[in-house]
Chains A and B, each alone.
Chain A
């Protein structure tokens, strides 16, 4: 799958900034709470060169959720993973920077693989859209390391949600999603709709709304029915093939 390769572009710029953020001041360490949910470790990483790789990545995620990038050392990650510093360096000879880049890569791959399952098993367009939006939103909302970084090292994350990097992110997310949506519409339409869905997820992930939580399946479903299905129909109106949206999924009856 082209996912890992696609995410790399986004990911490598992220890693460069993670590096730049190394010396920046960060708030003090917080109390130890179990911040990284265990269910993530079941998803596959893209390259499993070493049996220790996933263990180190998950150790790094736990550290990031507590200390952020600026205060996390290879030492911390080794301790958290229950491995020696030497072992961590054997798996990641580039040290901290290589490790942080691998964390982002792995997390992107985990998100996309979960998204692929939701999109691939959906039986209708509304189900695919609402399921995909809820899945991605929940993973972003509940990602402890990401939440910590947004709060304490915002410049690391927010830089990628503006202008060129934001374009790249939309491109990566929509290129991945579009083929799944193309079961119900033309490829060019599917690309537009996939990009639209990515905009929706990112907007609510970055600026949460107190009325709409797209991680909640019923909120995602209502959003899709209210705002997206009529828009998709309108988008499609100038072409010949009708979009396959079963009537009972439509928010309002056809005129």
Chain B
């Protein structure tokens, strides 16, 4: 069996184990058994053992999130719509993510370090994701598109982890948020006409 296939089987098995008994109680033994593989095979695929499997599992879950996001914004007409759909989807993904919510509630100390590493990757991922949409637009004078993407990614990550005074379930509020705090300084004024 190819190494990637073995790793993938173990990651999906680890996700199942974590969803059932949490991160602390998930052992390499459990994961191997769940995947129908030997303990030795598991260690060959993840020499770092348990910690490495768990990190890979968090990374895999983040990738799944991006694949979902991609599907959600496919065919969107412009940057504004991409961001509106993306924000609503991302927030809902967090709130409705049973495993994430359960682990956050019961083992935040275990999850958070991994999540923090992951949040830097997610931020870079959001910036990459938005780059082509930004490239299609005329940006505010003097604005560098990489800077714009980074600022947007930071803000998006902030709103989806804690919406604060914004209701991300309400499409009207999301539309205002996208056109004010998120894009008003970034896209050239003539295209943000709705609010000017």
Main secondary structure of the interface of B (DSSP, over half): helix
Bound CA span A213–B190, Å = 30
Closest Cβ–Cβ distance, residue A12 to chain B (whole Å): 16
| B104 interface hit (Cβ, 8 Å) | yes
The proximity string for A residues 77-104 relative to B, scoring 1 for CB distances below 8 Å and 0 otherwise, is: 0000000000000000000000000000
The proximity string for A residues 207-229 relative to B, scoring 1 for CB distances below 8 Å and 0 otherwise, is: 10101100000000000001111
* Chain A interface, number of residues (Cβ within 8 angstroms): 41
Interface pair A202/B158, CB less than 8 Å apart: yes
| A199 interface hit (Cβ, 8 Å) | yes
Bound CA span A255–B161, Å = 35
| A234 interface hit (Cβ, 8 Å) | yes
Interface pair A227/B185, CB less than 8 Å apart: yes
Using CB atoms, name the residue of chain B closest to A204.
B154
| B162 interface hit (Cβ, 8 Å) | yes
Interface pair B186/A227, CB less than 8 Å apart: yes
Given A162-B115, A199-B158, A255-B190, do A235 and B109 touch, yes or no (CB 8 Å)?
Answer: no
Closest Cβ–Cβ distance, residue B172 to chain A (whole Å): 11
- Residues in A neighbouring B120, C-beta threshold 8 A: 207
Given A158-B116, A203-B154, A230-B140, do A191 and B190 touch, yes or no (CB 8 Å)?
Answer: no
Closest Cβ–Cβ distance, residue B116 to chain A (whole Å): 5
- Residues in B neighbouring A195, C-beta threshold 8 A: 164-165
Given A166-B161, A170-B162, A229-B185, do A234 and B108 touch, yes or no (CB 8 Å)?
Answer: no
The proximity string for A residues 9-50 relative to B, scoring 1 for CB distances below 8 Å and 0 otherwise, is: 000000001001000000000000000000000000000000
| A121 interface hit (Cβ, 8 Å) | no
Interface pair B162/A255, CB less than 8 Å apart: no
Bound CA span A154–B113, Å = 7
Interface pair A191/B162, CB less than 8 Å apart: no
Bound CA span A252–B185, Å = 10
| B135 interface hit (Cβ, 8 Å) | no
Contact of B157 among A171, A192, A203 (CB under 8 A): A203
Interface pair B140/A251, CB less than 8 Å apart: yes
Bound CA span A237–B179, Å = 11
Bound CA span A163–B186, Å = 27
Going nearest first, the 3 A-B pairs with the smallest beta carbon separation are A227-B185, A234-B180, A234-B184
Q: Identify 9 new A-B residue pairs, CB closer than 8 A, beyond the known A211-B147, A212-B147.
A: A17-B109, A159-B112, A199-B158, A203-B154, A204-B154, A228-B185, A230-B189, A231-B184, A234-B184
